[in-house]
Amino acid sequence: VKMWQSTHECSICKAPFFWNIFGMIKKLRSGCRRHHCRICGRSLCKNHSNTKVSSSLHGFEIPVRVCSECISKLDNSIPHSLQLKIEGNITQASLNVVTRQLFVTSPSSPIKHVLLNAMF
């Protein structure tokens, strides 16, 4: 995740943010709220950051705001989330730090679940 930019207007359409009084007067429009893309860190208006995705590759298990340019660059072959809901209690868990794999078993499921590339 990159550092968040601190600009006074949208990085894509140059719409002024609501505290940018000079920019609002110059462009004869009201200001908008600033949002940040959680992948590239750019400052964006709502129109250019209205998509939310969960990308385990970037460490986000819950949907987060992503700009229109970064969403087009995301690889669809990468799993969007590593979350796995296991009903009941977990009876055994094993973590391999070298391969970044987490093995989990539960009494409700005889299958051993493998979470690859776990973010830890």
Average pLDDT over residues 94-102: 67
Q: How confident is the model at residue 120 (pLDDT cuts 50, 70, 90)?
A: very low
**Under CATH, what is the fold of the domain 21-77?**
Herpes Virus-1 (3.30.40)
CA-angle at 10, arms to 6 and 11, nearest 5°: 80
CA dist 95 and 80 (Å) reads: 21
Q: Give tens-digit pLDDT for 32-67.
A: 888 888 888 898 988 888 888 776 655 666 788 888
- pTM recorded for the entire structure: 0.54
Strands (E), 1-120: 35-36, 43-44, 51-53, 64-66, 92-96, 101-106, 109-116
